[in-house]
């Protein structure tokens, strides 16, 4: 309405001046120029206040309904966070013990592990206003815009808390590494540094005697690039590691995401948790959702074990592709994947979950492995076994089909990385080495030596199991996939021996 009135007044003034014999062309020119400039500045945040997502404030929106009970697989992170929040809830105890109040909590971990959920659960736990934003919201090409938005953010948090009659406010800044990256990296653009400086000033200005207690929660998966000033005590006092869940954690997350879904009796969530090594909480939520979608496609009123099995493959590799290789190419893929599976079972019995020649994503076929337990340290024997598994497909093609193909390119890349890990961990014949000082020629020579040793071992195993491989390939070409248990029976390995 104000815009229309202003335009009307300008038009009326122009007509009046024109009747008075005054040239109004310059007025129109500068008027249009001023309007364009105003619109540009307004878009950059200089002409109006920045909008942030606010919950539980005077606008009537509710605090996010997420509680800590809704977050599974992060017991250590939750316990550390709850301890920190106790200082916020019990202000009198904090004063009595002379404890300095927490100003900021940094949540660090891979994407999809629940950092945003934890921030929302925090707001409900301490009954506070919740304001969320992203680090990218503060950085613009005009100097001073980011600092202004930081001031607006803290002011809005306090104002909304007062209007809602709350004593606490939570500010959540996702991707805080954009806002809080190391200063001096952008030498030609000081806007980044000014914005970070303003955030540090706001954090330093907080006090336990403030009417409104503001808690800033940052989330990042690149804590290594944050400026050291932002992580020092007195600013972000706690760094909470939100890591990928272990097997027990994955089981809890699956129970949370399937509690509203009808599961058939053959669904074993503990087994699914074991098969989803290095899945994040977001992956597991997607897994449960995809399984339900697959049940719907079959008009099934229950989600069955086969739906979860298919969903795991989809989350890991992508949707099935319509393309189907020619028979000759499909036979090569079948031998390639059977070679991987054979050496995997020889290196670690019970590791193969499924062998398939169904095309998904960029893969024409694949072997899905099934880690029995999570482990984080790798021995020399384990690494050599993994190298053998990687190169087994290409060697199988060479022995049985007479030559190799480009399908092994990614396998060789993985094998090279594993060989480098052996060298840089001091487990090769070179002994303990300095990664930075070791000549590339020596590294290359040692990589070749490690891989060549495994090639000889794989070659012998495949030569002595050709009849078995022919049988497995025939079944793969007919059925497209073989379960790990059936494959082990063909090898003569009893299922109970590896359970």
82-101 residue pLDDT tens: 888 887 777 777 777 777 77
Identify the band that residue 323 occupies on the pLDDT scale cut at 50, 70 and 90: low
469: CB partners within 8 A, 6+ apart: 335, 338, 339, 342, 396, 400, 462
pLDDT more than 70, % of the chain: 81
Is residue 107 within a helix (H) or strand (E), and if so which, with residue range?
Answer: strand 104-108
Task: Provide the pLDDT confidence category of residue 231 given band limits of 50, 70 and 90.
Answer: confident
| Nearest partner of 366 among 345, 352, 387, judged by Cα | 352
How many beta carbons lie within 10 A of that of residue 448, not counting itself? 12
Res. 293: pLDDT tops 90? yes
Q: What's the pLDDT at 307?
A: 93
- The pLDDT mean for the chain works out to 82
Catalytic residue numbers, as ranges: 337
Q: Does residue 44 contact residue 140 with C-beta atoms inside 8 Å?
A: yes
- Span between the terminal Cα atoms of the chain, in Å: 73
Whose CA is closest to 469, among 382, 340, 365?
340
Q: Which helix (H) or strand (E) holds 445?
A: helix 440-463
3-state helix, strand, coil in the chain (%, to 5): 55, 10, 35
List CB contacts of 79: < 8 A, sequence separation 6 or more: none
Q: Please check the confidence at residue 196 and state whether its pLDDT lies above 60.
A: yes
- Tell which residue, 63, 88, 68, 53, has the closest CA to residue 242: 68
3-state secondary structure of 215: strand
- The highest-confidence range among 16-25, 110-119, 235-244, 413-422, by mean pLDDT, is 413-422
Cα distance between residue 14 and residue 20, in whole Å: 10
* pTM, entire model: 0.72
């Amino acid at each position: 309405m104000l815009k229309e009135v202003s335009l009307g007044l300008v038009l009326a003034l122009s007509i009046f001046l024109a009747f008075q014999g005054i040239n109004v062309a310059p007025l129109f020119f500068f008027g249009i120029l001023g309007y364009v400039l105003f619109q540009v500045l307004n878009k950059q945040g200089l002409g109006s206040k920045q909008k942030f997502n606010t919950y539980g404030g005077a606008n009537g929106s509710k605090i996010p309904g997420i509680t800590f009970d809704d977050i599974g697989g992060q017991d250590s992170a939750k316990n550390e966070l709850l301890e920190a929040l106790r200082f916020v809830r019990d202000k009198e105890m904090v004063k009595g013990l002379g404890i300095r109040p927490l100003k900021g909590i940094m949540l660090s971990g891979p994407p999809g592990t629940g950092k945003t959920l934890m921030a929302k659960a925090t707001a409900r736990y301490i009954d506070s206003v919740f304001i969320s934003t992203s680090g990218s919201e503060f950085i613009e090409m005009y100097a001073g815009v980011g600092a202004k938005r930081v001031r607006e953010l803290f002011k809005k948090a306090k104002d909304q808390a007062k209007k809602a009659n709350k004593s606490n406010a939570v500010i959540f800044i996702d991707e805080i590494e954009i806002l809080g990256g190391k200063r001096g990296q952008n030498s030609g653009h000081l806007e980044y540094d000014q914005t970070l400086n303003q955030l540090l000033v706001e954090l330093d200005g907080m006090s336990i005697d403030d009417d409104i207690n503001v808690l800033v929660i940052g989330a990042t998966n690149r804590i290594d690039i944050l400026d050291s000033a932002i992580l020092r005590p007195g600013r972000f006092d706690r760094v909470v590691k939100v890591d990928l869940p272990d097997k027990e954690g994955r089981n809890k997350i699956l129970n949370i995401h399937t509690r509203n879904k009808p599961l058939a009796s053959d669904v074993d969530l503990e087994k699914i948790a074991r098969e989803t090594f290095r899945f994040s909480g977001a992956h597991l939520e997607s897994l449960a959702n995809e399984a339900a979608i697959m049940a719907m496609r079959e008009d099934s009123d229950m989600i069955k074990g086969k739906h979860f099995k298919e969903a795991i493959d989809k989350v890991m590799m992508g949707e099935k592709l319509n393309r189907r290789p020619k028979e000759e190419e499909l036979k090569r893929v079948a031998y390639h994947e059977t070679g991987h599976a054979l050496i995997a079972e020889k290196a670690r019995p019970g590791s193969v979950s499924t062998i398939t020649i169904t095309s998904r994503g960029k893969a024409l076929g694949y072997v899905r492995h099934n880690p029995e337990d999570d482990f984080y340290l790798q021995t020399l024997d384990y690494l050599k076994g993994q190298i053998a598994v990687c190169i087994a497909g290409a060697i199988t093609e060479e022995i049985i089909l007479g030559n190799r193909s480009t399908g092994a390119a990614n396998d060789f890349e993985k094998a090279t990385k594993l060989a480098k890990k052996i060298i840089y961990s001091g487990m090769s014949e070179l002994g303990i080495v300095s990664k930075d000082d070791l000549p590339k020629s020596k590294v290359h020579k040692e990589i070749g030596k490690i891989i060549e040793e495994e090639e000889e071992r794989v070659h012998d195993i495949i030569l002595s199991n050709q009849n078995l491989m022919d049988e497995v390939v025939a079944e793969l070409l007919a059925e497209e996939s073989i379960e790990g248990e059936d494959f082990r029976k063909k090898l003569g390995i009893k299922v109970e021996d590896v359970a």
